[in-house]
Copies of this chain bind each other. A is one copy, B any other.
Amino acid sequence: MERTLIKELEKYIGKEVTISGWVDVRRDHGKLVFLDIRDRSGKIQVIFPSANTTAGANAKTTRPEWVVTVRGIVKERPENMRKEELNGNIELDGFHVEILAEAEVPFELGSELNLDTYLDHLPYTVRSQKARDVFVIQATIIEAFRASLRRREFVEFQAPALVGGDAEGGAAAFKVDYYYDQQAFLATSPQLYKQIMVGAFERVFTTAKIFRGEKHATTRHLSELVQMDFEMGFIQDHRDIMDALEHTMRDICADVGEKHADIFKRFNLDLPKLPKGKFPTLKLKEAQDLLGVAHEPDLEPEHERHLHEWALREHGSDFVFVTHFPISKRPFYTFEDPDDLGHTRYFDLLFRGLEINSGGQRVHNYDALVERIKQKGLDPAKFAFYLQAFKVGMPPHGGCSTGLERLTARMLELPNIREATLFPRDLNRIDTLLRVDK
């Protein structure tokens, strides 16, 4: 008999059904055995009489996480037993249990765990309601990002992960043993490639893995992460990029809100607050003046949190743009603002007090770009492949890059980015238990 998903059971009251899933909870009440069965769509309580039936005996042997197929009749619960939740008004009278797999769990699913224990047991803990909620939201975010850009004629491309050099000329890149004793690197950004692609499609995006070998051990850094990048040509300046990004963020928030109200309820969280007008925007110096702090070249995490409080109070916004960082601290391809020399047409987007996106206008003139590479003490010859794109004519362009894990983490107010990362890689961890000896 064909399997019915648990979320569909309400349609079958009085009928016989077959369901499959995991034993979420098993309660043995002597004469009756109760199994809460969980599948990808929901949960349902199944009741078995324990005496003199094979089904009851089988139900009794099961334990949490055993995988079973159950047959039963869907029936309405007594009025006083109904609950306000999926299938709160129905249950199953079970008459058959087939055991597909046995299981032995290290602790109860959904237990309060410290982060290391959670991560050490990921193949199990990822089944918890909380983890599933996080990664369902993440799947929606990445798809909403792509869909939002596709609607505006951006073309997806696949950026390489293996590169010949460190593109940004700054971030620590992991080294790879390539063929014939040659050295390659893992990409720290799809930056150079997405600029090249502007020459072909004008508007491109990629959701690429990037790798950062810095020895950070913070709650917001990872060694492997997903960057959601876009880049577009024929812009006036960085404000076109900010508009395109704001459009994308509003689309992502709309999709997440529409599909996952239940998850925000379980997390006891509000949806991201979006201002009626445009996202509030401050130049770096303005932001520092507002906070009464010194004119440093960048913001401290504490400053970012204070700017969030300001944006929320003054604009009802969880998002705030900070622009015009000093050019000395930014990569060679960053465009200097001719109206504010020494500062860049570059921005960070803060979401709930954390930088989740950086971007801006890029240098598009070949000679100017070569000059900027030299000024940074880098060798233009090493960028010859990239520079080809500029030699053959590049329009004014720019783009930006959003960290998927950071956005997910702030969306659900998770304190550590590792909770928003399946299989996080950092200074100390690559699936501890998968590690092989050297």
Q: Digitize A154-194: 1 where CB-to-B-CB distance is under 8 Å, 0 elsewhere.
A: 01111111111110000000111111001110100000110
Beta-carbon contact of A155 and B176 below 8 Å: no
Q: Which of A26-68 touch B at CB < 8 Å? A: 39-41, 65-67
Q: Digitize A262-306: 1 where CB-to-B-CB distance is under 8 Å, 0 elsewhere.
A: 000000000000000000000000000000000000000000000
A418 to chain B, nearest CB (A): 13
Total number of A residues with any Cβ neighbor in B under 8 Å? 104
From the candidates B3, B176, B428, name the one contacting A174 in the complex (CB within 8 A).
B176
Given A123-B385, A157-B139, A200-B131, verify A430-B393 contact (CB < 8 Å): no
Whether A115 sits at the interface, judged by CB under 8 Å, is no
Is chain A's binding surface mostly helix, strand, loop or mixed? mixed
Interface centre among A132, A157, A428 (most CB of B within 10 A): A157
Tell me the bound Cα distance from A206 to B105 in angstroms.
Answer: 27
Beta-carbon contact of A433 and B385 below 8 Å: yes
Whether A88 sits at the interface, judged by CB under 8 Å, is no
A261 to chain B, nearest CB (A): 18
Beta-carbon contact of A197 and B158 below 8 Å: no
From the candidates B65, B196, B366, B383, name the one contacting A392 in the complex (CB within 8 A).
B65
A23 to chain B, nearest CB (A): 8
Chain B residues, Cβ within 8 Å of A143: 146, 150, 156
Given A3-B234, A143-B150, A436-B165, verify A103-B391 contact (CB < 8 Å): yes
Beta-carbon contact of B436 and A382 below 8 Å: yes
Chain B residue with the shortest CB-CB distance to A210: B161
Beta-carbon contact of A161 and B393 below 8 Å: no
Which of A311-319, A325-333, A337-345, A419-427 forms contacts with chain B? A419-427
From the candidates B176, B396, B404, name the one contacting A176 in the complex (CB within 8 A).
B176
Chain B residues, Cβ within 8 Å of A200: 126-127, 131-132, 135
Given A66-B393, A103-B392, verify A211-B135 contact (CB < 8 Å): no
Tell me the bound Cα distance from A382 to B431 in angstroms.
Answer: 11
A1 to chain B, nearest CB (A): 13
Q: State the A residues within 8 Å of B (CB).
A: 3, 20, 22, 39-41, 65-67, 100-106, 121-124, 126-127, 131-132, 135-136, 138-139, 142-143, 146, 150, 153, 155-166, 174-179, 182-184, 186, 192-193, 196-197, 199-203, 208-209, 211, 213, 215, 223-224, 226, 234, 364-366, 382-386, 388-396, 404, 422-423, 425, 427-428, 430-436, 438
